[in-house]
Amino acid sequence: MAAKWIEALTGPLEQKKQYKQDKRRIDALPEPYGAAAKAMHRYLMYYGGITGGDTLVAMFTDLADLWERAAADETPLRQIVGDDPVEFAESFAQAYAGERWIDKERARLTKSIEDAERAAG
């Protein structure tokens, strides 16, 4: 019963467990892959803006998979991210469709402008 109450407030516990597991995978990567994965994780937390827990968890699971594979294969970092790491991270995030926090703000802005137009009449 307590678990359902906590999940109602914070979201599904399974998602949190999976996220923490993926974070531990990233933290365990050898260098330089660990530093690159942590930097990308941080950027995605700011840039991604994803509000759906399932989508967010899937993205970070895939991120951990990507960097673990790169480390195992000893793939050079630039071969993964290319010349522009920002472009790579943003393209990576765009592959995960889902509602983003900015979607709500875009709708709010559009509605506010429409309401202002009607009020001006």
Average pLDDT on 22-44 reads 96
CB atoms within 10 A of CB 64: 21
Number of domains observed in the structure of the chain: 1
DSSP label of 98: S
Q: Whole-prediction pTM value?
A: 0.74
Number of H helices, E strands in the chain: 7, 0
CB-neighbour burial class of residue 53 (10 A; exposed 0-12, middle 13-18, buried 19+): middle
CATH number of the domain enclosing 8:
1.10.1900.10
What digits encode the pLDDT tens for the residues 66-119? 999 999 999 999 999 999 999 999 999 988 877 776 778 888 899 999 999 999
Of 98, 90, 74, 97, nearest to 40 by C-alpha is: 90
Residue 14: give the domain boundaries.
2-120
Identify whether the C-beta of residue 9 lies closer than 8 Å to the C-beta of residue 16: no
